[in-house]
Chains A and B, each alone.
Chain A
Amino acid sequence: MSDFENLYREIILDHYRSPRNRGELPEPAKKVEGFNPLCGDEVVVFLEVTDGVLSNIKISGHGCSISQSSASLMSAAVKGKPIDQVREKIATFKQLMMGHEKKLTNEDEQPKIDVRALGELAALQGVVKFPVRIKCATLSWNTLSQGLDELSL
């Protein structure tokens, strides 16, 4: 598979064409916005937390296939999960995206990522071959993380 085909895997295009958990949640759900000033991408994440569980998540905004599919995949991966598992997913995903930089410095520092634990999210690992697109992929994750921070979770 070429780097290009690896970037635009069918699963990514599927999430781009039919995004999961698309929409908004009414108050008192938490609303967080994220921007990528470079390309004008915008993501809005709505969160509902019940008894330590991310009981509902909705995503709105606009952007490229990488940012939109990453947001969709993220929503499917974290919905209904306890907050500590959500935090873990965020950390693992960001490690996946950092793979590129680490490789430049020292092979030994390559973080050990359990790709199987990522499930469908692993489809996004092709992004690391295209450094300028990493920000597209991490936009929704950073926004979710910021939302949890603001909720002190």
Chain B
Amino acid sequence: MASGDDVTSFDARLVRQDIPLLHRIVNGHPITYLDSGATSLTPRPVIEAMSRYYEQHHANVHRAVYVTAEEATATYEGARLAVGGLFNAQNASEEVVFTKNATESFNLLAKSWGRANLKSGDAVVLTQMEHHANIVPWFQLRDEIDIDVRFIRVDDEYRLDLSNLDALLKGAKLLSVTGMSNVLGTINPLRALADAAHNNGALIAVDAAQSIAHGPFDVQALDVDFIAFSAHKMLGPTGIGIFWTREEILQSMPPFLGGGGMIADVRMDGYTPANGPTRFEAGTPPIAEAAGLNAAVLYLQSLGMDNIAKHEADLTADALARLGDEFGDVIRVIGPGTTLNRGGVISLDVQGVHPHDVAQVLDQFGVCVRPGHHCAKPLMKRFDLAATVRASFGPYSLDEDTSVLLEALAHSVKVFA
């Protein structure tokens, strides 16, 4: 572990020692990883937890009575409790559902809760800065039951335009909004949005994919009703995602995928679904991934969520200032210009150079960034962009990463000038 129990001793350099991939050489350079918004790098304790599971405890869960089967079940259920603790779930064992990823969590929300609770004409309110994962399932539901899908506008300062929020929420059953934009870095005022939703008789769902690993997140304090995120964006493995809702809502939701593991009883004439989260976990679940997720939660907590937030805010402030100083109008930041309610995701528009070309030059320097529309095409259209180059930070990022990025950006401007 990087810093043991002492949460005040956060040091990104020690975190880096735990991340094998950061020691790779790419195109002759040490790797400069600035794509944590797409997926985070995996620390050794997470990798080891998964190896240990396969080497010592591997068995199917919730089935057999032999020792390793009991251990596998304890591993899987233990991860449910651990991850629930990360965002202050009241009763994690009854409220946390494991899915494949945040996208599947949104599909579960739309196709289970949505189908059961929405009827023709009901509104779901989204924002223009949502990831496709929080847009397409609602369009699919609209095709099925003719709901009204509305969007909160993003203003010219890259913030939600809340001037007509009550009008948008009128007749709405759900507000589904990202905690932090994966393109702009904008952090949305979740508590105020939750209050507005509740005052209008709607529930609120939060896409926490970009929030959960980058600072404290408390579903009780925020008073939100659903959250969705993926383990691989919080130092955990791919293949496991989280859906959370309050126990009474979860109990009222009909099953989503059918099969083994999600039933209480199956007869010749039908079936009775299981109670609790397993009702939504058909088939053998991602057990090794749950072990990895548990280790990732412990690792993040050992670093301290406040420390991570402060570290990434410092990196972002430094990067924004240096981008402005060194490039002026040649490189435009697509997102808020200060770190107030803003996270470590920095989208760039390099004048006269296509994002794919920028990223190709950056790759020559070992710099990993994401060019493209970031699965947020409505947002791209809002700002009349086809794509951006996005750099994003994690707890292992350093100011030196920004230095390499700036050097590589300067080169890309030179090549294509």
B248 to chain A, nearest CB (A): 42
Q: How many residues on A have C-beta within 8 angstroms of the other chain's C-beta atoms?
A: 18
Using Cβ atoms and an 8 Å threshold, which residues of chain A touch B17?
none
Which chain A residues lie closer than 8 Å to B27 at the CB level? 4
Chain A binding site: helix, strand, loop or mixed by DSSP? mixed
Nearest chain A residue, comparing its CB with the CB of B373:
A40
Given A13-B416, A65-B416, A136-B356: A4 and B364 interface contact (C-beta under 8 Å): yes
Is A16 touching B371 in the complex (CB atoms < 8 A)?
no
With both chains docked as a complex, state the minimum distance between the C-beta of B372 and any C-beta of chain A, in angstroms: 6
- How many residue pairs bridge A and B at CB < 8 Å? 40
B372:A62 contact, CB within 8 angstroms: no
Cα(A91)–Cα(B354), bound, Å? 28
Q: Which of B255-271 contact A (CB under 8 A)?
A: none
Contact partners of A13 in chain B: CB under 8 A? 415-416
Question: Is B387's beta carbon under 8 Å from chain A?
Answer: yes
Partner of B360, one of A7, A16, A42: A7
| Cβ-based interface call for B195 (8 A) | no
Bound CA–CA A39/B373 (angstroms): 7
Interface check B380, CB cutoff 8 A: yes
CA distance A4 to B371 in the complex (A): 17
Docked Cα-Cα span, A136 to B360, in Å, equals 13
By the criterion CB–CB under 8 Å, are B354 and A38 in contact?
no
Q: Are A38's CB and B416's CB within 8 A?
A: no
Q: Is the pair A133, B387 in contact by a Cβ cutoff of 8 Å?
A: no
Q: Which residue of A lies closest to B356 (CB)?
A: A64
Main secondary structure of the interface of B (DSSP, over half): helix
Q: Interface digits, B329-368 against A, CB 8 Å rule (1 contact, 0 not)? A: 0000000000000000000000000111100110010000
Q: Which residue of A lies closest to B27 (CB)?
A: A4
Q: Are A62 and B386 touching (Cβ within 8 A)?
A: yes
Q: Is the CB of A39 within 8 A of B416?
A: no
Neighbouring A residues of B380 by C-beta, 8 Å: 40
Find out whether the CB atom of B416 lies under 8 angstroms from the CB atom of A16: yes
Chain A positions 126-150 with a Cβ under 8 Å from a chain B Cβ: 130, 133, 136
Partner of B372, one of A39, A65, A66: A39
In this assembly, does A82 line the interface, its C-beta being within 8 Å of a C-beta of chain B?
no
CB interface residues, A 92-144, toward B, < 8 Å: 130, 133, 136
B221 to chain A, nearest CB (A): 39
- By a CB distance below 8 angstroms, the chain B residues around A136 are 356
CB distance from A45 to the nearest CB of B (A): 19
- Measured CB to CB, the residues of B under 8 A from A are 27, 354-357, 360-361, 364, 371-373, 380, 386-387, 415-416
Top 10 nearest A-B pairs (CB, nearest first) are A40-B386, A64-B354, A64-B356, A65-B357, A4-B364, A64-B357, A40-B387, A39-B356, A40-B373, A39-B372
Known contacts A39-B355, A133-B360; 8 additional CB pairs below 8 A are A4-B27, A39-B356, A39-B372, A39-B373, A39-B387, A40-B373, A64-B354, A66-B356
Chain A residues within CB distance 8 Å of chain B: 4, 7-8, 13, 16, 38-42, 62-66, 130, 133, 136
